[in-house]
C-alpha cells in the first residue's frame, strides 16, 4: 500500500542525488507540493537515494526522476531551498555514537 505522497529524485549536480518527499501533513491543496516537502541527501547515486527512501519512509507510490541535464533546466528557488535543508534533515538518520569507559 502506498501513501500517495508526491516524490521526486533528482541529480542536483553530477553525482549528487537528492529526493524530495511531500509532507505527510500536507492537505494536497498547495499550488506546488514541493512547498510542503522535505529533501534528503546528498547520495552518490540514484540507487542510493532510492534505497534510503525505501529504508526510511513509507512507500509514496512512485516518483519522478530527474538526471542533472534535465534537472538543470527545471531548477528553481524551491529546489535550491530543499537542497539547502537536506543535510539537516539527514541528521535524524544518524546513529548516535557511544563511548564506554572501562572501569
Give pLDDT, residue 98. Answer: 65
**How confident is residue 17, by pLDDT bands cut at 50, 70 and 90?**
very high
Q: What is the mean pLDDT of residues 48-76?
A: 94
Give pLDDT, residue 26. Answer: 66
Q: Which residues contact 98 (CB under 8 A, 6 or more apart)?
A: none
Residue 71 has pLDDT above 80, yes or no: yes
Residue 103 has pLDDT above 60, yes or no: no
Give pLDDT, residue 50. Answer: 97
Q: Are 62 and 26 in contact (CB under 8 A)?
A: no
Average of per-residue pLDDT values in the chain: 89
Closest by CA to 33, choosing from 54, 63, 59, is 63
Q: In 26-43, which positions are buried (b, 16+ CB within 10 angstroms) versus exposed (e)?
A: eeeeeeebbebbbbbbbb
Give pLDDT, residue 30. Answer: 66
Residue 85 neighbours by CB distance under 10 Å: 15
Amino acid at each position: 500500500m502506498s501513501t500517495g505522497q508526491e516524490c521526486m529524485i533528482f541529480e542536483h549536480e553530477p553525482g549528487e542525488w537528492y529526493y524530495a518527499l511531500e509532507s505527510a501533513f500536507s492537505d494536497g491543496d498547495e499550488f506546488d507540493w514541493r512547498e510542503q516537502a522535505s529533501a534528503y541527501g546528498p547520495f552518490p547515486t540514484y540507487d542510493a537515494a532510492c534505497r534510503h527512501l525505501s529504508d526510511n519512509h513509507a512507500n509514496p507510490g512512485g516518483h519522478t526522476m530527474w538526471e542533472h541535464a534535465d534537472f538543470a533546466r527545471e531548477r528553481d528557488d524551491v529546489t535550491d531551498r530543499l537542497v539547502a535543508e537536506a543535510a539537516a534533515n539527514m541528521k535524524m538518520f544518524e546513529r548516535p555514537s557511544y563511548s564506554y569507559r572501562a572501569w
